[in-house]
Chains A and B, each alone.
Chain A
Amino acid sequence: MSKINNDAPLLEIKNLKKYYDIGSNSKLHAVDNITASIAKGNTLGVVGESGCGKTTLGRTILKLIEPTDGEILFEGTNIAKLSRNQMRSFRKSMQIIFQDPYSSLNPRKSVYDIIATPLRMNKTCSDRNKMEEQIKSIMDICGLPSRLLNSYPHELDGGRRQRICIARALVLDPKFIVCDEPVSALDVSIQAQILNLLMDLQDEMGLTYMFITHDLSVIKHISTEIMVMYLGVCVERAPSVEMFKNPIHPYTRVLLSAILVPNISSRNKRLELVRGELTNPIDPQPGCRFSPRCEYSNDYCIGKDIELREVSPNHFVACSYIQDFKP
């Protein structure tokens, strides 16, 4: 596990917000006031249930979705307000791998065309032979035999398709990649292959990842820092090791206990079940958004927004129960 280094961060987001107008003066708060930074070569894991805004956060950072407010600093430049044209030069260094390798590849294009598209769009390579060589070498790095160059996505299994998606993201030699649940559509054995590949690539190419998932067990191995999101807000942020050793927020603890361990000694241990499901992200009232489902919730959880506070070095928690009522 690489150490957290305190060099200038590659990416910094400050008070990032994305609200959707849904008519009748209501706003859906998909991402609400998220602040985070990722140092070069590190991985920020973002965890939460579906609907918590983690995908929106990933896409907003890449400006695939326009942010409502806040700053996105990429290598020191605020890209939040840049126009599409101005963004173009940044796109090369910021890529994304999508969740579903079945729907994120054009079924009518060959593997060659899929990987060549980013090169053509960015006009980085004019010589055809060179381009083919570049594509073959990136396929090799991603563990794809070059005989698949003229295959189509439907001929390949899920693991190989995800490798194509990774090759497509890497071909422009990016610095930063958003991995949006890249392994949740895959079988466990293939999942492990892809996770290993992503970690190897990070070591070799010095990549920086933001790794989005709903499964805490997946990001333990790959993340340097973990951020837990609930209904658009960050409820806890800590270095990976610390997060697993000493989870504080009740929601983080629920997520951890929901991991099913393949071990029968844990069978009779009661799962720390959480009541209900995600509540409504439309015009949320001030207060802790997890309180309707939280077993510790009390009067002090509602009425005012709860700020993230540093409880130990680099470990931030937003929970008034822990902060004000427990030493």
Chain B
Amino acid sequence: MSGELLSVKNLEVIYKSSGEMVQAVNGINFSLNKGETLGLVGETGAGKTTTALAVLRLLPERTGKILTGSISFDGKNLLELNDEEMRLKVRGKRIAMIFQDPMTALNPVMSVCDQIAEAIRYHSDKVDKNEIDKKVDHVLEMVGISPSRKHEYPHQFSGGMKQRVVIAIALSCEPDLLIADEPTTALDVTIQAQVLAMMGELRNRLGTAMVLITHDLGVVAQICDKVAVMYAGELIETGTLEDIFVEKEHHPYTMGLFGAIPNLGGESKRLHPIAGIMPDPTELPVGCNFQERCPHVMSICLDTNPEPYVNGTHSIACHLFTEKCNVGGDNYE
């Protein structure tokens, strides 16, 4: 179960539209071993989905562009494959994706069974109809849907069930890597708990590596092994689950994310949000991207972008740490 599966190095992605250039992803590095789960955390617009689309080479053709970097998957650089190889050998077969909104990810005029069979037919040598049928039944059972419902259409399923169908399609070819883009955000809390438990169980059984994109640190704590916090197109903090949830040293943004979550145990009434909003990705500031919202901003932050400060598996891109001074963990209750 060891060995590097995915390694993203110095990835930069831009979107160009009507003269404006959006710097969506600005030189990120991360890697993932076989069977591991990485939680990619950040606000809307931080570049999480763009990163996922870049890995799958699904960026919108006219506007999106990978400027530099390499994405190596199982030893091969995905950026060097041609479209045909990407479509037949990688996408859907070895790397599958679960999209955020199950309501729009499914084709409304195709039965559930046909949608799953399509993925299987496309990526395997199985041509025998019965065999494909059997496989469809198998994956449906795996995600907890009775195969007797397979001839129904997406509108006949509830949101949670639709998300299970999407997961069934993604897992139908037994991929090595599953990228799940906010798989439970559109679901109710009780259904979210069911779907997360199921995803965790399937991951353990099939040994699938997973990149889980989310803005909910609660989801990360439940299911991930590694965490990467993304802000304005950069990874500002990465580490193991313990580094992020137990260690005291954090990037001020990560502290802010924790502070903004309603605390169930405490009695305090007010929450501690991060002031302001994320900078406009068409004109990122010089220096650290978080400077405008940071409570500890220093003069160096205004002109130099911080290099990551690495402590074992834990890496923080903040001048507070490169200067070796500790903010401490008590600024946000």
User: A residues near B, CB below 8 A?
Assistant: 1, 49-50, 157-160, 187-193, 195-196, 199, 214-218, 220-221, 244, 254-255, 257-264, 266-267, 271, 273-274, 277-278
Contacts and interface: CB of A to CB of B under 8 A. Distances in A.
Interface stretch (B10-18, B105-113, B241-249): B241-249
A258 B272 contact: no
Contacts of A267: 221-222
A189 B194 contact: no
B191 A188 contact: no
Given A217-B262, A257-B193, A273-B193, 16 more contacts: A190-B277, A191-B273, A192-B262, A199-B270, A217-B264, A255-B189, A259-B189, A259-B218, A259-B264, A260-B192, A260-B193, A260-B222, A262-B220, A262-B258, A264-B246, A267-B222
B194 to A, nearest CB: 6
B261 interface: yes
Given A188-B215, A188-B216, A259-B264, A273 B221 contact: no
12 contacts: A189-B260, A190-B277, A220-B262, A221-B270, A221-B271, A258-B189, A258-B193, A259-B189, A260-B218, A263-B245, A271-B193, A277-B161
A260 B218 CA distance: 5
Most buried by A among B43, B190, B216, B264: B190
A274 B190 contact: yes
A216 B261 CA distance: 12
Given A187-B215, A277-B158, A214 B189 contact: yes
Contacts of A157: 277
A267 B227 CA distance: 15
A160 B272 CA distance: 18
B271 A264 contact: no
B269 A1 contact: yes
- Kindly list the 4 A-B residue pairs having the minimum CB-CB distance in the complex, ordered from nearest: A260-B218, A192-B273, A262-B217, A192-B271
B191 A277 contact: yes
B260 A192 contact: yes
Nearest to B278: A157
Given A221-B262, A254-B190, A264-B246, A192 B272 contact: yes
B269 A221 contact: yes
A221 B333 CA distance: 15
Nearest to A271: B193
Nearest to A156: B277
Contacts of B260: 188-189, 191-192
Interface residues of B, number: 44
Most buried by B among A187, A193, A261: A187
A258 B218 contact: no
A280 to B, nearest CB: 11
A183 to B, nearest CB: 10
A217 B221 CA distance: 16
A158 B271 contact: no
A250 to B, nearest CB: 12
Contacts of A259: 189, 218, 264
Contacts of A220: 262, 264
A244 B264 contact: yes
Nearest to A216: B189
B274 interface: yes
Interface string B208-220: 0000000111111
A211 B2 CA distance: 48
A189 B221 contact: no
A24 B99 CA distance: 38
Given A50-B188, A187-B43, A255-B190, A277 B160 contact: yes
Contacts of A271: 193, 196-197
B198 to A, nearest CB: 10
Contact of B218 (A160, A195, A244, A261): A261
Given A195-B271, A199-B270, A254-B190, A188 B245 contact: no
Most buried by B among A157, A189, A274: A189
B188 A199 contact: no
A263 B215 contact: no
A244 B267 CA distance: 11
Contacts of A159: 277
Interface string B246-265: 10000000001111111010
B77 interface: no
Contacts of B322: none
B245 A264 contact: yes
A220 B158 CA distance: 28
A59 B93 CA distance: 47
A257 B264 CA distance: 11
A157 B44 CA distance: 10
B159 interface: yes
B254 to A, nearest CB: 11
Nearest to A191: B260
Contacts of B196: 260, 271
B245 A262 contact: yes
Interface in B263-289: 264, 267, 269-275, 277
Nearest to B187: A50
A261 B261 CA distance: 9
Nearest to B158: A277
A255 B241 CA distance: 25
Given A258-B192, A258-B193, A264-B246, A193 B262 contact: no
A162 B139 CA distance: 41
A277 B190 CA distance: 9
